[in-house]
A and B are shown apart, each in its own frame.
Chain A
Amino acid sequence: MGLTRRTFLRSSVAMLAATACSPTAAPVSKPAETKPATPPTSAPPAAQPTVAAQPTAVAPPAASAAQTPAAAAAPRTGGELQFIVGAEPPSFDGHRETTFALLHALSPHYSLLIRFNPDAYPEVMPDLAESWDVSADKLTYTFKIRDGVKFHDGSPCTARDIKASYDRILNPPEGVVSARKGSYGAVESVEAPDPGTIVFKLKYPSAALLTLLASPFNYIYSADKLAADQKFPEKNVLGTGPYKFVEYVPGSHWVGQKNPDYFVQGRPYLDGFRANFIREPAAQIAAIRGGRAQIEFRGFPPPARDDLVRAMGDKIKVEESAWIVTLIAIFNTEKAPFNDPRVRRALNIAVDRWEGSNALSRITVVKPVGTFVRPGSPFHRPESELLKMEGFSRDMTQAREEARRLLREAGVPDGFAFNLKNRDVPTPYEPSGVFLIDQWRRIGLNVTHVQQESNAYLSDHRAGNFEVSVDFIADYADEPDIQLSKFLSPDRSASNYSRYTDRELDALYDQQSRETDPERRNQLVWQFEDRCIQQMAYAFPIIWWQRIVPYSSSVKNYPVLPSHYVNQDLAHVWLDA
């Protein structure tokens, strides 16, 4: 392969990233606050189901926005948080967009009905709702709305505004895009019987409803503004959140200032924030090292983390978490030999994820080993169960022998050649693709790595122009309704690029979605995964991402959660002197 301009630039940028953070005279000791990451050799135990997973929990969580999160030291007020956002929001409309770039810039301006509790993720807690009740038949959710909440223009925010916002999400008018409309199939209606009450009526019980209502994209907009123009939120910012909008310079920055009328007493702590849009990782790292910015919420790969720590000493701290993002391998089941489940199973079995985790976690942002639900999430199976699954064995000699046997049975005993399509993103797509190719080489397969720029990559996925490809799942919450929806038959999932129709899988999905008993739901989720990963091997997980966030030690009270989509309203963040 020749040295292209793109390759050359990428190498240069990588060099800068590495060199920019090379050791200087700064202390070399690691900061004490660095948290050890989840060991790759064991999947975290399944946690107890949470409020979000239990619609039967009628009592609201004890914590309130005003009390949460608790800080170790006395919070200090004032200061402007400078952070980096690696992309820009196409529009300002949360209901329409799907990118983190929107959330990082706009979430400080908005409130939600309920939100995730940053101190007890994935529990949900009140935001505009004060409390809620769930009917005995689990078909009616009644939320009590806070009194006295005002939009930034001074107009009151009531249940009417919440209804208008959810009507827009559930039944977008002509010309309005609602990206997550499909997630709320269980909701029959949203009613606002009085200014202080909002009622969600369901067609059938939904285990995921509270999690879905805590979606960080579900900003509450002014009903009056929507009545005048349903596209108002695309180009205007008017929320009830902790910060008011000040300025947006496309390509450069976004500024917010403290909302003195914020409904949580004493919040926010900061005077304001400034989001700087910086695309290049090397420039992001330089900005943090040079003190121009304090944090990039998605984080950096391990080499950049280590170099920043070496260069900045106690001026930087690092937090890590398993991330609700995973790379998966998908097959085009319409192309031979991948239309044969035995071939697909062989490719799944041949991958040593445990060793991959050990090796790749040193150079890129992957680490936890798991299925389609995040290791450590309430839905993840314990390691003892995981090891029984095809593709998760630690005995790779036996696993590879089984893979070769399956290939012989499928009529390709001498292996074959194919292309692995992948996104040309250095972290962690490229190393993960190289890892897969090496694993498959060990069972006699000859794989060519075809890396593509994002748009061409997505286009080929949609058109079925691939044999095997690296795909991804990225979400704001550990919720099977969200994570597993991708694997539904194509008439129900636009992102099922494997192009199979499997009604048994669809039925399992529906059953788990309506099952409100956590234990029984977990069993159904695992059955879904067994079919999708083991029996039919339509797709399989590679290795889950690890969120590594090195940030200025002056930033306080920003717990790094498993998702970079949530906890971005910055109401509780404060800056040390």
Chain B
Amino acid sequence: MQGYIVSRILLMIPTLLGVAIITFILLRMVPGDVVQLKLAGDGGNVAAEVIQAERARLGLDKPLLAQFFDWIWGAVRFDFGLSMWTGRPIIQEVLIRLELSVQLTIMATLIATVLALPLGILAAVKRDTWIDYAVRIFSIAGLAIPSFWLGIVLILVLLIAFQYSPPLSFTPFFKDPVENLSQLIWPALAVGYRYSAVATRMTRSTLLEVMREDYVRTARAKGLRESLVVVRHALRNAFLPVVTVIGLEFAFLLGGLLVTEQVFNLNGIGKLMVEAVLRRDYTMTQALILLVASVFVLVNFLVDLLYVWLDPRVSYR
């Protein structure tokens, strides 16, 4: 087990290095640069030498290889440098937004889990009844409706029916829970619904599969109540794929809800990434993509470890 953990951790290094190299190259292939947009984007008639001087100040006049090594050397020391747009430390910019993104991810995961598990179980147990059909319609709708569109509808309903719009700024939960939830509950519902749809369908299908296993038949033959059969024997074994889905979705959300954050004007990682890309803020974009990739790799790793706890038959050598 320890050997497995060490090898997985070591494998993260080439994975993240690959992400860093691809990101670096792709960003340089896109036309435009941050200086041009910053100094001439609003129509300013800025002299060419001013633009050149600013490019030099940001190190954009160096050879690409030198730029890459400068950046990657900083990254391995967790020094991601300064944003090319704001000149502020990237770590600081990310930390400002991380609390919101983490909280939104947790809220959406909670909503999704609370909805998905009972509904998935219910649909599997009551297979081909009206309950199953209702749950399937509910979950297919969740998959079909993009969360940002649902967000737009939520905003409209709040505006038109209640003349209400959510707060514009993020307030930490422990400072003012009501204000905090007033802002985040709506995007959490919009995102959590889609998330729950994926998890509901996975719970239903894996549970149905497990319910056909011999040991479930044996449990029933012993005379156990159906609820005990489901909870004690079937559910735990059905959890592996569900946990995988929830883990991947968690990583996806933590990496940023690019569109939903724009719709709800949330100051999260997703909005920061969109703005960084549009501004050609190379250092910021590279750092954020590396962060998102790291989260994915880490969550996948943790999910794999969770398998051992959920299913004693699983072991890594």
Query: Using a CB–CB distance below 8 Å, which chain A residues touch chain B?
Result: 9, 12-13, 15-16, 19-20, 22, 24, 82, 88, 90-91, 97-100, 175, 177-182, 234-235, 249-253, 276, 278-280, 282-283, 286-287, 289-293, 325, 453-456, 458-460, 462, 472-475, 482, 485-486, 493-495
Contacts and interface: CB of A to CB of B under 8 A. Distances in A.
A283 B88 contact: no
Contact of B152 (A16, A279, A486): A16
A278 B275 CA distance: 12
24 contacts: A12-B148, A13-B152, A13-B263, A16-B155, A19-B156, A22-B160, A88-B86, A179-B50, A249-B267, A250-B88, A252-B168, A276-B169, A278-B168, A278-B265, A280-B262, A287-B168, A292-B165, A292-B168, A455-B30, A458-B40, A459-B31, A462-B36, A474-B43, A485-B45
A166 B47 CA distance: 18
Contact of A453 (B53, B54, B278): B278
Contacts of A279: 262, 265, 271, 275
A486 B46 CA distance: 10
Contact of B41 (A9, A82, A458): A458
Contact of A99 (B41, B45, B262, B280): B41
Task: Choose among A178, A280, A460 the residue with the greatest number of B CB atoms under 10 Å from its CB.
Answer: A280
Contacts of A458: 32, 36-37, 40-41
Nearest to A93: B87
A455 B278 contact: yes
Contacts of A182: 45, 47
A333 B299 CA distance: 56
Interface residues of B, number: 57
A88 B41 CA distance: 13
B312 interface: no
Interface string B75-91: 00000000001111000
Nearest to B265: A283
B34 to A, nearest CB: 8
Contacts of B158: 290
B86 A290 contact: no
A375 to B, nearest CB: 18
A177 B54 contact: yes
B179 interface: no
B31 A91 contact: no
A90 B267 contact: no
Contacts of B271: 251, 279
B304 interface: no
Contact of A252 (B36, B169, B259): B169
B259 A9 contact: yes
Given A182-B47, A485-B45, A494-B46, A234 B87 contact: yes
Given A20-B156, A251-B96, A494-B48, A90 B87 contact: yes
A475 B152 contact: no
B42 A100 contact: yes
Contacts of A20: 155-156, 159
A556 B272 CA distance: 34
Interface string B127-169: 0000000000000000000001100100110111001111111
Given A90-B38, A458-B36, A494-B46, A16 B57 contact: no
A98 B159 contact: no
Contacts of B43: 98, 325, 472-475, 495
B165 A291 contact: yes
Contacts of A13: 152, 263
Contacts of A22: 160
Given A98-B42, A249-B170, A292-B168, 14 more contacts: A9-B148, A91-B86, A179-B50, A234-B87, A249-B267, A250-B96, A280-B265, A283-B262, A290-B158, A454-B32, A459-B33, A473-B43, A494-B46, A495-B43
Contacts of B233: none
Interface string B274-288: 010011100000000
B263 A494 contact: no
B30 A456 contact: yes
Nearest to B262: A280
A134 to B, nearest CB: 27
A24 B160 contact: yes
Contacts of A181: 47, 50
B44 A179 contact: yes
Task: Choose among A19, A286, A458, A462 the residue with the greatest number of B CB atoms under 10 Å from its CB.
Answer: A286
B39 interface: yes
Interface string B1-37: 0000000000000000000000000000011110011
Nearest to A462: B36
B87 to A, nearest CB: 6
Contact of A282 (B36, B263, B278): B263
Contacts of A15: 152
Contact of A283 (B46, B57, B263): B263
A90 B85 contact: yes
A289 B46 contact: no
A485 B279 CA distance: 26
Contacts of B259: 9
A98 B40 contact: yes
Contacts of B152: 12-13, 15-16, 282
A286 B165 contact: yes
A447 B271 CA distance: 35
B37 A455 contact: yes
A181 B49 CA distance: 12
A459 B41 CA distance: 10
B31 A460 contact: yes
B51 interface: yes
A475 B44 CA distance: 8
A456 B33 CA distance: 8
Contacts of A19: 156
B280 A494 contact: no
B211 to A, nearest CB: 39
B288 to A, nearest CB: 13
Nearest to A234: B87
A482 B45 CA distance: 9
Contacts of A462: 36
Contacts of A177: 39, 50, 53-54
A81 to B, nearest CB: 14
A290 B96 contact: no
Ranked 9 nearest A-B pairs via Cβ: A290-B165, A455-B32, A98-B44, A459-B32, A474-B43, A251-B267, A459-B31, A283-B265, A252-B267
Nearest to B48: A494
Nearest to A15: B152
Given A91-B87, A249-B267, A283-B265, A179 B46 contact: yes
A90 B264 contact: no
Contacts of A16: 152, 155-156, 263
Contacts of A280: 262-263, 265
Contacts of A24: 160
Nearest to B160: A24
Contact of A454 (B39, B41, B54): B41
